[in-house]
Amino acid sequence: MFPRSSGILLHPTSLASPFGIGDLGPAAYEFLDFLEAAGQSLWQVLPLGPTGYGDSPYQCFSAFGGNPLLISLDRLHEQGLLSASDLDDARLPCAANVDFPLVIREKAAALRRAATAFHGSPAFDAFQDRNRRWLADFARFMAFKEQFGMVAWPYWRTSATHPDAEQVRVHTFLQFEFFEQWSALKREANARGIRVMGDIPIYAAGDSSDVWARPSLWKLREDGHPALMAGVPPDYFSATGQLWGNPIYDWGEHAASGYAWWIERFRSTFELFDLVRVDHFRGFQAYFQVPFGETTAVNGEWVEGPGAALFDAVQTALNRRLPVVAENLGVITPEVEAIRNRFGFPGMAILQFAFGKDAQAPDFKPHNYPREVVAYTGTHDNDTVMGWWNSEGGDSTRTAEDIRQEKAFALAYLGADGSEMNWSLIRALMASVADTVVFPVQDLLGLGKQARMNTPATLGGNWKYRMLPGQLNGAIAERLRGFADCYDRAKGRNRDA
């Protein structure tokens, strides 16, 4: 499942488009052109769900649904559901960041016009039948949210029992259209020999149709708020830990059902992607819980999770080896690694963290890699290579002297002169024995900290990065293709092809 290959981490919202946010339209297919020209055979994305709190793809209104903001208005126009003037009205100035409030307002209007113009089809009926396990609950949930001004569901009036039927139909159509467009894009990627890696957040958002429709599967208070919140203790990313706020699962209830909700979640995910990164994998062995009302993750505790039993249940139900990459970053215990190794899930290595004092730094050095690892220059949760390289002052986890020593060691280790550190790290990974290596698109472009996707434990300013038209050009593709050819990672040239 993991031949020698390389690929790019790029969330679709970061694609260039004329509508303020990347989508599944022409720019996505142009990105496939780039991957093919560059000899890349993997496209990694973040979760594709309908984003809620903070516009984060890890805080979605559904663990099963798709993000309507990714629907291509161009494709709706081609289907006759939007006019040329509708497209003109929805166009927004080209910018290097997504203005989510503006995009949501303008795109929502266009999407509703398309939904009004849609009068059904056999494919639409089949989609509803195929996804009946979650779709009706989600469409009703979103209709209620709009009815109550988008506030979280614990604040809804308990007397409300019937959402607006037209709004339910609109949200059902938007899910249908998202999955139609995504499926077409993935088919095209696969036809070109490009696999798509998705992402499963370990937790569901508290304000989601999943928790609203099946509250017994989570540890909630009577008012619907979490009794306990998810997070991680202080680490490299944050001196006060990360308080995510998601409700903790009632793992006893999940076990009693044979992990039915998780089986359906993985089944649905594998219909969308060729392989999947499982976020915060260590949380399945032991998870960190924080009492409701805390403002940081300092006062939390570790609690034993479902462990291998969950993955046994999923693997048995799906009757297949699971194409999973385990996000095993942070404080990882032997018990966590035992589960990962039992199921043959490759872990992750972050080259950017190989040169400092991170506890996993020795494992992140390429000369220590096993073949069965997915290695990155960086991820969506840390700075770009050039942002990291150009940092000077200390922060809550690294002093100025720490940074000086880190840079000196990186130059010595890579044999670099510091002039193009993004390409120095890319080349080091390409040459490594790691079966799979991935680069955030920002590192290909040599962008600084302004292009960072997310800063953990912060609110505001995250998930906004997007490319400008033409940034991924032929010169970059040629340079990356040269490395892919040289180090046996190009499609058709690797040793496992």
Judge contact between 414 and 406, C-beta under 8 A: no
3-class secondary structure, 315: helix
3-class secondary structure, 480: helix
Distance (Å, whole) CA 198 – CA 276: 5
- Of 55, 207, 210, 279, the active-site residue reads 279
279 is catalytic: yes
Distance (Å, whole) CA 40 – CA 36: 6
- Of 137, 207, 235, 327, the active-site residue reads 327
Task: Name 42's bridge partners.
Answer: 7, 195
Task: Name 220's Cβ contacts closer than 8 Å, sequence gap at least 6.
Answer: 211, 226, 227, 247
* Polymer length of the chain: 497
Task: Name 54's Cβ contacts closer than 8 Å, sequence gap at least 6.
Answer: 459, 460, 462, 463
Distance (Å, whole) CA 452 – CA 99: 15
Judge contact between 242 and 228, C-beta under 8 A: no
- Strand ranges (E), 1-74: 5-9, 42-44
Task: Name 6's bridge partners.
Answer: 437
> Rounded to 5 degrees, what angle do the CA atoms 261, 198, 463 make?
105
Question: By C-alpha distance, which of 139, 117, 114, 112 is closest to 128?
Answer: 139
Distance (Å, whole) CA 155 – CA 148: 9
Distance (Å, whole) CA 211 – CA 224: 9
Structure tokens at 494: 């690797």
99 is catalytic: no
Judge contact between 70 and 22, C-beta under 8 A: yes
Structure tokens at 71: 């629907």
Structure tokens at 252: 């006893």
CA distances from 207 to 145, 203, 204 (A): 10, 12, 8
74 is catalytic: no
φ, ψ of residue 14 to 5 degrees: the values are -85, -5
- Compute how many other C-beta atoms are within 10 angstroms of the C-beta atom of residue 401: 9
CA distances from 300 to 234, 245, 288 (A): 10, 12, 6
Distance (Å, whole) CA 312 – CA 334: 19
- Of 210, 381, 383, 406, the active-site residue reads 381
Instruction: Annotate 392-427 with DSSP letters as a single string.
Output: -S--SS--HHHHHHHHHHHHHHHT--SSSHHHHHHH
Sign for the pseudo-dihedral over CA of 403, 406, 408, 411: negative
The catalytic site residues sit at 279, 327, 381
